[in-house]
Chain A
Amino acid sequence: MALEATHSAGSDYVIRKPLVTPRVRRWIVSVLLAAVCCIWIYPLVWMVSASFKTNAAIFASEGLIPSEPVIDNYLRAWNEANIGAYFFNTLFVTVGSVLLVTIATAMMGYVLGRRKFLGRGFIFGLLVFTMFVPQGYTIIPVFELLSMLGLGQSLWGVMLATTGGSFVIFVLLFAGYFSQMPDELEEAAKMDGVGFVRTFWYVMLPLSKPIIVTVIVMQTLYAWNDFLLPLVVTLANPAIRTLSVGVYAFKGENFVDWGGMTAASTITIVPVVVLFLFLQRYFIDGLAGAVKG
């Protein structure tokens, strides 16, 4: 029946020509995207540009390319403002929290994604609920927790507190990914006499590489850039400040050193940009995989 229908329609079927050829269409899309990209990237370019200007030149509206580029801002930021020390604080906090978060969320996601147990739905609900609590509300209790643990004044405390940021999202990412894995893989391991923990470690975890990379990149970005939490935790102890907090110190009571601040900011984002350049393929794959899920 269907065959007949298409057949009779074939006689008076008109081929409609597109308004623009695919080639022109690609051009239009590219130009539009380029325009959006320019707007998007402007603040970043402004920041880098300002870091090469003197404080006076920044507000002289001379355009993005500095007429007399200076590197004083960078020297000042690195030497006087302790950015060098903050850099290593941030590195410690980031690496530590990435390690902790990746291992902990993968394990939690595996159990939540693949095991059916009493209260699983409740735990899922609780996790999702916490995503709706703004970070600002939890900072004081987190600080109190750290103080009780005796970590209120140490980098370990900052690191531990930083692991909490996107923990839930990562658990959900892992849970979603693991829940899609074919049961046969686990069953094959079971037939091979491989236990629960080792099945996770040798079979399932290596297969979740896209998610692992996503989590590493996202947690790195988060830990590197987090501001509010390290600000509060390090309030009383400038020596353990992270970069984002250190940059804020350029804002004095009566005077803001814009040149120094933008230079410090640029130093801050360079590692992250480099990381992204190297890992962007995995990062995009991971997110795409997680969404396709």
Chain B
Amino acid sequence: MPGLSLKGVTKAYGATKVIHGVDIEIDKGEFCVFVGPSGCGKSTLLRMIAGLEEISGGDVFINDQRVNEVDPSHRGVAMVFQTYALYPHMSVEQNMGFGLRMNGRPKAEVAKRVEDAAKILQIEELLDRKPRQLSGGQRQRVAIGRAIVRDPQVFLFDEPLSNLDAELRVATRLEIAKLHRQLGGATMIYVTHDQVEAMTLATKIVVLRQGIVEQVGAPMELYSNPANLFVAGFIGSPKMNFLEVSPGADGALQFKDGRSINVTGKANNIATVGVRADQLRAAPLDAAALTGEVSVVERLGDAEFVYVRTGWGQEIVVRFEGGADIPVGSEVGFNLSGRTHFFDTDGAAIDGLTVASH
């Protein structure tokens, strides 16, 4: 049963269209992440669901009820803002209970709900403090607490981790994942530009670009079967290597330096080959599909990312096991192994092909 669905939703500011007909179904209890580069419309979409932004066209349904014109506070949604948006002059307790108090809930009920939320987030000892006396991570919790207190059907998170430092971001990411399980049944919609957050948190990812949904699916589905060049390049770190190819002799695919690979399956119209850093294997230079000179090596401990400059000047990244110690400046060769992706001239993925030999 869908907890929330968008049907042909559009948004325009005057003549400028920023959302071009978006259709998304989000089931109850799902953790859905909207991801995309800045300016792709993901925050706008979230704000339209929240009711902070008017819907220019299409419909938004929450629990099968059309909510286009419903007041934000009556949609059963709660929002956690990127900047937390805590009321600076109120204590944590007042911040969390503000909405309930203003809507005339009895004092005892407000206190109970605030207390329960504080317990879930482990911020009970912070209730008397003002927001300025809290660290970034604590403020984030209070902001989430303010959402929990409202007991919403749908939680909306607008880039909630982007104001935290790297370490705290990872910790809070885990907290949010736990929270989702703890609040069982709560639908969450989460906006981020960080594909790692999307991959780690989501049960469903919606990849957006320029107001259009590029692909919807489970994290690993998007990783393994990206629908197009954009999704392939956006999901996964480091970024997928894209190699331009042209048709060679006997249906082979030729790289810019003349080396080629053979493909099994119907290989029409292939313009780009995509291969992730961990799907390239070192090979002797004379038997390699790709060769190049090592320009930079990033040592991460468990892995080494080696940047190789090919004969035609493109830089590709290859993953080696930690301790491989590839010298910078050396000439190396690779074969394509495992999953290789193929894209046509329009950037759409072509299925059913594998690399045969070269």
Contact = CB atoms under 8 A, between A and B. Distances in A.
Interface of A: 182, 184-185, 187-194, 198, 202-203, 206-207
Nearest to A188: B85
Contacts of B74: 193
A182 B85 contact: yes
A193 B73 contact: yes
Contact of B85 (A185, A198, A202): A185
Nearest to A193: B73
B78 A191 contact: yes
Interface residues of B, number: 25
Interface stretch (B28-36, B95-103, B347-355): B95-103
Contact of B89 (A187, A188, A189, A207): A207
A190 B73 contact: yes
8 contacts: A184-B84, A184-B85, A187-B52, A187-B85, A190-B73, A193-B71, A193-B73, A198-B102
Contacts of B77: 191
B81 A187 contact: yes
Contact of A182 (B83, B103, B150): B83
Contacts of B88: 207
Given A182-B85, A185-B85, A185-B87, A191 B79 contact: yes
B318 interface: no
Contact of B81 (A184, A194, A203): A184
Given A182-B83, A184-B81, A203-B87, A192 B52 contact: no
Interface of B is mostly: loop
A212 to B, nearest CB: 12
B102 A188 contact: no
Interface of A is mostly: helix
| Chain B CB within 10 A, most for which of A184, A188, A191 | A191
A233 B7 CA distance: 67
Nearest to B97: A192
A193 B81 contact: no
B45 interface: no
B50 interface: yes
B103 A188 contact: no
Q: What 8 A-B pairs are tightest by C-beta distance, nearest first?
A: A192-B99, A193-B73, A184-B85, A188-B85, A194-B102, A206-B89, A184-B81, A191-B79
A182 B98 CA distance: 18
| Chain A CB within 10 A, most for which of B71, B78, B87, B88 | B87
Given A187-B79, A191-B99, A193-B103, 14 more contacts: A182-B85, A184-B84, A184-B85, A185-B87, A189-B99, A190-B52, A191-B73, A192-B146, A193-B99, A194-B73, A194-B98, A198-B102, A202-B98, A207-B89
A194 B50 CA distance: 15
B72 interface: yes
| Chain B CB within 10 A, most for which of A190, A192, A203 | A192
Contact of B72 (A182, A191, A198): A191
A202 B101 CA distance: 11
A194 B89 contact: no
